[in-house]
Amino acid sequence: MKLTNYVNGEWQEAVNSDFTPVLNPATGEQLAQVQMSTAADVEAAARAAKTAQKKWAKVPAPKRADYLYEIGRLMKEDKEHLAQVLTKEMGKVIEEARGEVQEGIDMAFYMAGEGRRMFGETTPSELADKFAMSVRSPIGVVGLITPWNFPVAIATWKSFPAIVAGNAFLWKPATETPMMAFEMAKIFEAAGLPPGVANVVFGSGAEVGTAMIEHPDIKVISFTGSTETGRKVAEAGGRNLKKVSLEMGGKNAVIVMDDADLDLAVDGILWSAYGTAGQRCTACSRVIVHKGIKEELQRRLLEKVEMLTVGDGLDETVKVGPVINKKALEKIHSYVEIGQQEGAKLLVGGAVLNDAPLDKGNYYAPTVFTDVLPDMRIAQEEIFGPVVSIIEVSSFEEAIGVNNGVIYGLSSSIYTSDVNRAFKAQRDLDTGIVYINAGTTGAEIHLPFGGTKGTGNGHRDSGVAALDVFTEWKSVYIDFSGKLQRAQIDNEI
Ligand code: UN1
């Protein structure tokens, strides 16, 4: 199968005809070939989007929302097929793939609801016989750059608010997961979205991403990916005076206090550390544990880690799928070596799994390090794989300090049965998402998603906050006095 761009409601070959193979990370098998577009394709898509957006902005928001209801319905109808493609292409286990598609469906219906809200504000004017209000207005053409780890959900967090708010978009999905974008584009087409409102351009970040950021008609760039790339996007975006919304890395921790329900904590750690083979921005990669229960927590955790089945995610009994590609496998292993050199103690895992039947895919053993110190590289840098570092602390305050002592700020979690500690923690943990008595993953689409410090730049995906990225405030004053009324001058009582 050859995946071509979707531009102006048509399936179009890119200007140059280079294709790159798409591989199944579980088997190494080639699934498809994807078009590697150029700046010329971005130009064509931006032109189509600009024309389409002018009309789209005039469609009333509740009508724009009707397309999202239809998109949601089609995704629901196609849920199992979408989940199967997702597992084959990205590797996450089928149960999680179904969950991710569900996240997209939820986003469709939630954002469709915004079509009938999209509240503005009315505000008293300082002048008599004058009415003041602020309304959300569409921005124009927006650019979406999405990662491979959540190829459906993250795309919906960005594209659905863009649609309902009256923008047209140009979407560059990750080169590792174009099939999901292709499936979504088919759904946009089937839902009858007017040509040019949704455009998908496949290709590399260096070529297509750069062209999008440099394009004068693309007013917003919403990016999810690494902090390193995000910084470059922000720099180029700044130069071009674009609004840039960034969601980047994480180094998320689960804190386990000495009054925690340990079995509950172990289940939360397992799910958030090894789900998606640790390849979530929200994945738990540090466990900060009170010294009083460290040995016991470690014992219970190890018992369960050793039972995790690793394999092809299409097998319903498998709990941990492959990682995305060989490069990721090498990166994960290099961190394990760094951890050992730094003096951390490897409790389990720490190896590439390549005995048959796993020899064709990219599998890494679920790994636990202990006796990790907070400033070691394995406790500071994002590994994006199934590797957990256990760090011992002696107090609640120390736990909070260790949690906050990284450059990232996406998600954090604390297990405690003390209600006072729980409330203090939700205030003092300096991440964009905090969980009490639950792991670090599992964000729901109607709440803002994003993080502080090196994770973001103040914007949020998802939730009603996403509308702030894709709309601009317009302040409207209606003077019904029939005479000149001067603000700041004619307002004495
Ligand atoms: C991501 O890791 O990039 O909260 C997104 C979660 C999911 C979304 C993760 N709902 O883990």
CA 10 / ligand 1 centre spacing (Å): 31
Question: To test the ligand 1 pocket, which listed residue (441, 444, 460, 461) has its Cβ within 8 A of the most ligand atoms?
Answer: 441
ipTM of the complex: 0.97
Atom of ligand 1 nearest to the CA of 282: 2
- The amino acid present at 6, given as its one-letter code, is Y
Residue 194 has what DSSP assignment? P
* Helix residue ranges per DSSP H, 275-318: 294-305
Q: Does domain 252-436 have CATH number 3.40.309.10?
A: yes
pLDDT means per 10 residues in the chain (493 residues)?
96 90 98 96 98 98 98 98 98 98 98 98 96 98 98 98 98 98 98 98 96 98 96 96 97 98 98 98 98 98 98 98 98 98 98 96 98 98 98 98 98 98 98 98 98 97 97 98 95 67
148 lines ligand 1 (CB under 6 A): no
Ligand 1: centre distance to CA 443 (Å) = 6
d(CA 280, CA 295) in angstroms, rounded, equals 27
Q: How many other CB atoms are found less than 10 A from the CB of residue 62?
A: 15
For 117, residues 6+ apart whose C-beta sits below 8 A from its C-beta are none
Mutation test residue for ligand 1: of 106, 282, 431, the one with most atoms within 8 Å of CB = 282
- Distance, CA of 338 to CA of 188 (rounded, Å): 45
Instruction: Give me the architecture of the 2-248+456-476 domain, per CATH.
Output: 3-Layer(aba) Sandwich (3.40)
Task: Indicate the burial class of 65 (C-beta count within 10 angstroms; 0-12, 13-18, 19 or more).
Answer: buried
- Asked whether 48 and 195 are in contact (CB, 8 A), the reply is yes
Which entry of 103, 183, 247, 382 is annotated as an active-site residue?
247
How many angstroms separate the alpha carbon of residue 100 from the centre of ligand 1? 9
Where in the chain are the domains? 2-248+456-476, 252-436
Instruction: Note the pLDDT of residue 157.
Output: 98
Q: Is the CB of 38 under 6 A from ligand 1?
A: no
CA dist 490 → 129, 401, 484, 493 (Å): 12, 54, 9, 9
